[in-house]
Amino acid sequence: MRDVAIIGAGITQFGEHWERSFRDIGIEAGMKAIADADLSGSEVDGMFIGNMSSGRFINQHHIGALIADYSGMATNHVPATRVEAGEASGGIAFRQGVMAVASGMHDIVVVGGAEKMTDVDDPTSNEIMDTTSDTQWESSLGVTFASLHAMIAKRSIHDGVFTREEMASMSVLDHAHGALNPNAQFRKAINLDTVLRSGPVAEPIGLFDCSPISDGAAAVVLCPLEEAKKHTDSYVKVSAVTQASDTLALFQREDITRFCATTAAANKAYRLAGISSSDIDVAEVHDNYTVSGILALQDLGLFERGKAGKAVLEGQANIGGKVAVNTSGGLKARGHPIGATGVAQIVEVVQQLRGAADKRQVAGARYGLAQNVGGTGSAVTVSILEAI
């Protein structure tokens, strides 16, 4: 197997793009990544696109062919594959791209992620999100995606895993970092009281505990590590990319205050990369709800179980703290166009390891981690990148 490098990265502004189409934002991200890699595009021999639900959001299936066509890759008959795994679609598309290059099947691969969520009304968007849970035993019985996370949060608070204030501090962290990111959907810092007083969604989760409905796209270009210098001096090594699964339905798990798939994927990733959690300098974690972010920090081993919430509240996860978390603004402030999220996390880590993150730069960052989650922890990818 060959080592793999990221030689290009591109991302769009995240937000509500009423005037733009899915194909517009998808192509923008891809072209930015190809230009960043200093390629013409003719060198690309494979594409993987993370997308959760274009069939529902924009009434368009066959996304691989669409992106290949409008990017100009179809004229060269470049194979383009859509990858779907709920909110983990982007992260798993990245893993598929890495495996394709590592195996020798492809040499230059573009991995993209895109979602256009604002073409439907909010109730429809939330209904689509509900389908990432177990439709037969959860959503069809009236259990929403938000209420499932509320159950996790309520149990975690009851068991002393974190307090309500500690959970809310994840949103404060995201907004503080998002204010520094020109591509973030929300670029305004907030305080703890704003989160705690926000309108109720599903007790104990409020509006500011939830990621928004977003449009956006992100992309990276991969090649064999030994070939990276031929294209750019600003490349990043993919040290590990792992994937793990858990039960689709939340009720089937022994402990809903842990995402065991995260721990399994993380432990394997650390082993493959030859490092430990203490070596991580910057981490992009999947916080579609604040509860998910706090649990991710402990499930990844970045903070001890029962102490992650306190660590965030005390500022240990801020830039300049023990480990810089969600320097992009996370899903809450950067935005969460579902299929794009996993790839956007990779783009942020690449920028950090290149030293190109401007006002949100983590000094001396060498190892970065991205955790992307589908459903309530039923599909998880953990990627570790290394500055060279």
DSSP letters along 108-156, please? SEEEEEEEE-TTS-HHHHHHHHHTTS-TTTTGGGT--HHHHHHHHHHHH
- For 236-263, the pLDDT digits (tens) are 999 999 999 999 999 999 999 999 999 9
Tokens of 110: 């573009």
Could you give the 3-state DSSP secondary structure of residue 23? helix
Tokens of 8: 């290009």
List of domains in the chain: 4-121+214-236 (3.40.47.10), 122-211+238-387 (3.40.47.10)
Q: What percent of the chain has pLDDT over 90?
A: 97
- For 168-220, the pLDDT digits (tens) are 999 999 999 999 999 999 999 999 999 999 999 999 999 999 999 999 999 99
> Which residue from 369, 157, 377, 192 is spatially nearest to 288, judged by alpha carbons?
377
Mean pLDDT on 19-31: 95
Report the distance separating Cα 307 and Cα 286, nearest Å: 18
How many other C-beta atoms can be found within 10 angstroms of the C-beta atom of residue 275? 18
- Of the candidate ranges 9-13, 103-107, 118-122, the one whose mean pLDDT is the lowest: 118-122
Q: Do residues 298 and 162 touch, judged by C-beta distance below 8 A?
A: no
Q: What angle do CA 5, 344, 378 make, to 5 degrees?
A: 100
How many other C-beta atoms can be found within 10 angstroms of the C-beta atom of residue 201? 18
The residue among 342 and 142 whose pLDDT is bigger is 342
Report the distance separating Cα 119 and Cα 215, nearest Å: 9
- For 57-72, the pLDDT digits (tens) are 999 999 999 999 999 9
